[in-house]
Amino acid sequence: MKKFVIAVLFVLFPILLSTAAMAAGGAGPSKDMLKGQILSVDAAAHTLLFEKDPTGEQLTLKLPENIAPEEVKLNRKVLVNLVHQEGEHQAEGEPSAAAMREIKDIEIMFLTMTLGRILALMGIGAIGGLLSGFIGSGGAFVMTPAMMSLGAPGAVAVASNMCHKFPKAMVGAYKRWKYGQVDIKLGLVMAVSAIIGVQIGIQIQKFILAAFGGAGSNLYISVVFLVVLVFVGGYIMMDAINLMKGSKAGDDEAKVCKLALTMQKINIPPMMTFKTAKITISAWITLPVGILTGMLAATIAVGGFIGVPGLIYVMGVSAVAATATELVIAFVMGAWGSFQWGLSGLIDIRLTVLLLSCSLIGVQLGALGTTYVKDYVIKLVMAATMLIVAVSRGAMVPSYLIDLGWVQPISPSTLSLLNSLSFWALISALVIAGGIIIVAMIKGMTAGKQAA
């Protein structure tokens, strides 16, 4: 326990120091988003007076045509998303361009908590935690859209989930460390390069947003989802099925793939030995896996979908150790991200702790579940989740293509059908993955009791 706490503090301290620098460098929430409250509305001029948090600076902003002045809520904390503008050229003596910027939309920052929302958050947390404890991936791809569908603004959903992710990952990592599955050294080494990867991912996103706007950004994210989830998920699924067949034929051992064996033979110093992961590998090999994990986390919020397969198939770590070690990376990145979002005051602590109420149980269940199953079951759950989420994201691609004007519009009923398909595919990813985990655990526990 002492070693674990020291490792946690060792990680948190530099994160705290570097966050201030990175926040100044532009990481974190977009500059086209303002937090504060609306003081008054001028219906005739179609503008409103906005007071920014925490500076108290007052701005006059232009209301878009689709928002009626009477719809605007006064004196409540809101998030105002502004229409993106290129670099502003301000002539001398003219009022600041920021005062005349146009609003894209206004979101009430903090949900009213109802019993339905509380129960939904607890349910989402439970299954997301189970998944996280078992396959090392945080479930953010479901939790964030789920919170948004409950009414939370996107930025608040992302911030609150980030703040939930790192303590959950910490508890999951601790449990799996107790089972002897976590390679803390490997996790920390990968986390450093993952943070670099997040910065690269953010810069790419900013470039695409500036070049192609919101619809282009959504399309980019969905294409990344599809490519990674289909190819990587498909590969893992094939591997899991082969292992399952081998297991039934009596060959239980997961073999290290040829690529990983080749990577392990590369002898470029510094060579690093990771005892729990049982590999000795050049530090240079860990860099691209970590960077890609961070880039993917910045793009689709789930670094584990590259991180875990990277650890297994590029570095030759077992599925158990890879999913466990990924929790260390998730903890570091989650802590770092939480500090950044927290600096902007966007964490809704109520959403966070309600998710934690059941995810802390789920993550421990998932963690101990890994001790009852064979390697291929972990791969099976990961692959199934990835492939179903690919369907979910794929269903949204047509709407982004239409928004960009790259394809002809389709009927509203078809669009609505695709939105429903996307939503229910996400839900089914959680339910199916959760079901496989629970069934496998029950089988394993029952077999264990019978053997005793």
Binding site for other proteins (CB under 8 A): 35, 53-54, 77, 109-110, 113, 163-164, 166-168, 170-171, 175, 178-181, 318, 320-321, 335, 338-339, 342-350, 352-353, 356-357, 360-361, 364-365, 367-368, 370-372, 375, 444-445, 448, 452
**Which residue's CB is nearer to other proteins, number 315 or number 335?**
335
**Which residue's CB is nearer to other proteins, number 138 or number 394?**
138
Q: Which tokens is 253 given?
A: 């051992």
**Which residue's CB is nearer to other proteins, number 185 or number 350?**
350
Closest separation in Å from C-beta 100 to other proteins: 25
Closest separation in Å from C-beta 211 to other proteins: 30
Q: Do 311 and 328 meet the contact criterion of CB atoms below 8 Å apart?
A: no
Closest separation in Å from C-beta 424 to other proteins: 30
The phi-psi region of residue 250 (left if phi > 0; otherwise alpha if psi is between -120 and 50; otherwise beta) is left
The number of beta carbons lying within 10 Å of the beta carbon of residue 128 is: 31
Closest separation in Å from C-beta 369 to other proteins: 9
Closest separation in Å from C-beta 363 to other proteins: 9
**Which residue's CB is nearer to other proteins, number 168 or number 393?**
168
The secondary structure of 183-207 as a DSSP string is -HHHHHHHHHHHHHHHHHHHHHHHH
The secondary structure of 3-47 as a DSSP string is HHHHHHHHHHHHHHHHHHHHHHTT-SS-TTEEEEEEEEEETTTTE
Rounded to 5 degrees, φ, ψ at 272 are: -125, 135
DSSP SS3 for 281: strand
Q: Which sign does the torsion angle of CA 354, 356, 360, 365 carry?
A: positive
**Which residue's CB is nearer to other proteins, number 229 or number 368?**
368
Q: Rg for the chain (alpha carbons), in Å?
A: 23
DSSP SS3 for 280: strand
Closest separation in Å from C-beta 180 to other proteins: 6
**Which residue's CB is nearer to other proteins, number 73 or number 178?**
178
Residue reference for tokens 């894209």: 104
Helix axes 154-178, 319-343, angle to 10 degrees: 140
Q: Which tokens is 50 given?
A: 């906005």
**Which residue's CB is nearer to other proteins, number 282 or number 371?**
371
Amino acid letter, residue 4: F
Closest separation in Å from C-beta 354 to other proteins: 9
